[in-house]
Amino acid sequence: MIDNGLLVQMLINALLGVSVYLPLAAGQLSLATPAFYALGGTLAALLSTRWAALGVGADGSLPLPGFALELLLGGLLAGALALLLGRLVLRLQGIYLAIATIALVEITRVAILNLPFTGGAIGIFGIPQPFPRAAGYLLPALALLALAGWVCQRLEGMPLGRAMAAIRDDELAVRCLGIDTTGVKLTAFVLSAVLAGSTGALAAHFLNTWNARQGSFDASVTMLAFVVLGGSGSWLGPVLGGLLLTALPELLRPLGDARLVLFGLVILFGPALFPQGLISPALLERLGRLGERS
Amino acid sequence: MSTVPLLELRELSCRFGGLVALDRVSFAVQAGEIFGLIGPNGAGKTTLFNLISGVTAASSGELLWRGGRVGGLGPDRLNRLGIARTFQNLRLFDRLPVLDNVLVALQRRPASTPLAGLLGSARHRHGERERRERAWQLLAELGLTGLAERAAGTLAYGDRRRLELARALGTDPALLLLDEPAAGLHPAEKEALCDLIAGLRARHQLTVMVIEHHVPLLMRLCDRLAVLDFGQRIALDTPEVVRRDPRVIDAYLGGNGSPGTGAGEQR
């Protein structure tokens, strides 16, 4: 039921969930992840097709170093854009920030749709494959997720991560403790963008085709759902949310059309039954105590 | 007392639309003193603290810190210069453990870059150790050691007040602004707080400014008092002189001529 292709898609969505989570961990509801995801994917698609700069073989294969470089460049480009735009949009708070970042997603989508070299509505086809089979993407996707999880976990024992958590509770109080909260929020925003950009570069190769629809408002909402269902108290929440909500429609396939109804019910009642998400602070505490005992 | 005051306000005003919250207030605070600020509700006391801590910008006038102009700086910059504050309605990080509330205040000392933190460099580990030691010291000093692991939001009121003090002290300030530190405490706690503030001043070489409605407490604690009424400074002197000032008695202490009995609004 779960084939390798679905597994990779699940991992990609887990990564995007973490990308939404990072600014949220500093109290910032940013929905810009699809814009950075689209940017990374478009860059990877262009680099390996139009510009053939990374040693693409005649048979449409892509050497691994070229693939790795694309992941890096996709992340860097998205991160650079986030650094430029962050100071501007992060002046906004709460729902206004969400709206501004939705605008960013739309601007990126329309730009990719209309630029002369991004293939318009059809997009870019025949993106070279670094791996002959879907299973090949499992390793880089897992590695990226492990890296993202490691960063999130390290943050908790660091001044930066503590400042993020404190800003989530009370930003003014954090400023009154001498901390440049704009810098902290900007760092979280840039980290989120780098992750989304790299994920986009990976996804472009995996999907073999890339177009403007990859980064849409719909995607913003879906990615937010990963965090809401999984829980925003820890990075594990969006990972679980991304994995589950991607796998669920496939797992429910035997139910026929009823699966979409059931999927809708999960989205509807999940947050009602688990207001703090599946991975809630209380659950983490219980797990922590179990860990201490053993 | 040094010749240059630690903090000086020159004709400081703050207007919100048509409302004049502070009207050309001037005074200087000397290093080492405990300086009280009293006045009826709405007199502009908290607004004054907001100006001094950079939370609100002044409409006109000058704010001087150790003789240099600091008007227009944000709260983070002013804190790094040595001004820390507490809030009337407590702004703790409720979801974080008590220890982490204090650790947030210790961010900058010693400094640590995010990259060093991620990679767990020796300097970062050393810094974290130092931060934790300092945080435990502050918790011990304020009697919060046993509560270190609890979420700040679950503490009793008096403990929350002391945690906010510990957090402000974590930034190692020269000037500490206390906005109604005794509000909501019962009489025995108020007494203890009075001793605590005096002790903190001595141990941390602090200058303290304190807003308080509980007049007897202020009379005992403060070296000097300023009285605000309708945004204007109507008195500035030692407690003994202020309590006999007819304008103060009129505006605040009640016109019956028996000040010092805990008049004024209590919440």
Q: What is the CA radius of gyration of chain B?
A: 19
Instruction: Give the closest-approach CA distance of A270 to chain B in angstroms.
Output: 23
Residue B253's pLDDT band, with cuts at 50, 70 and 90, is low
Q: How far apart are CA A264 and CA A3, in angstroms?
A: 23
Contact A163 B104 (CB under 8 A): yes
Residue B209's pLDDT band, with cuts at 50, 70 and 90, is very high
Residues A197 and A77: beta-carbon distance below 8 Å: yes
Domains in chain B, CATH or no CATH each: 1-82+175-267 (3.40.50.300), 96-172 (no CATH)
Contact A162 B104 (CB under 8 A): yes
- Mark residue A179 as left, alpha or beta (left: phi above 0; alpha: psi -120 to 50; beta: remaining): beta
Which residues on B lie below 8 Å from A180 (Cβ)? Answer: 76
Residue A270's pLDDT band, with cuts at 50, 70 and 90, is confident
Q: Which amino acid is at B135?
A: A
B75 reaches A (C-beta below 8 A): yes
Q: What is the CA radius of gyration of chain A?
A: 19
Paired tokens of B33 = 């003193």
- B235 forms bridges with which residues in the sheet? B227
Q: How far apart are CA A178 and CA B171, in angstroms?
A: 7
Q: How far apart are CA B220 and CA A264, in angstroms?
A: 66
Residue B187's pLDDT band, with cuts at 50, 70 and 90, is confident
Which residues on A lie below 8 Å from B73 (Cβ)? Answer: none
pLDDT in tens, A272-283: 888 888 888 888
B87 reaches A (C-beta below 8 A): yes
B45 reaches A (C-beta below 8 A): no
What was the pLDDT predicted at A60?
65
Closest residue to B93, CB basis, from A151, A159, A166: A166
Verdict on whether the full-model pTM lies above 0.80: yes
Q: How far apart are CA A193 and CA A232, in angstroms?
A: 18
The helix or strand, by DSSP H or E, that contains position B23, with its residue range, turns out to be: strand B19-29
Contact B91 A187 (CB under 8 A): no
What was the pLDDT predicted at B265?
40
What was the pLDDT predicted at B213?
85
Q: How far apart are CA B213 and CA B201, in angstroms?
A: 20
For an interface test with A, the pick among B80, B89, B93, B130 (most A C-beta atoms closer than 10 Å) comes out as: B93
Which residues on B lie below 8 Å from A181 (Cβ)? Answer: 76
What was the pLDDT predicted at B61?
94
pLDDT in tens, B96-150: 999 999 999 998 777 778 888 888 888 889 999 999 999 999 999 999 999 999 9
| Averaged pLDDT of chain A | 90
Q: Which amino acid is at B181?
A: P
- Whether B1 has a pLDDT exceeding 80, the answer reads no
Residues A30 and A189: beta-carbon distance below 8 Å: yes
The helix or strand, by DSSP H or E, that contains position B169, with its residue range, turns out to be: helix B157-170
Tokens 């501004």 locate to A100
What was the pLDDT predicted at A267?
78
- Whether B262 has a pLDDT exceeding 70, the answer reads no
| Averaged pLDDT of chain B | 89
Q: How many CB pairs under 8 A join A and B?
A: 89
Q: How far apart are CA A149 and CA A155, in angstroms?
A: 10
Residue A259, C-beta contacts closer than 8 angstroms, at least 6 positions apart: A249, A252, A253
Which residues on A lie below 8 Å from B87 (Cβ)? Answer: 173
Pairing verdict, β B175-179 and B207-211: parallel
The helix or strand, by DSSP H or E, that contains position B63, with its residue range, turns out to be: strand B60-65
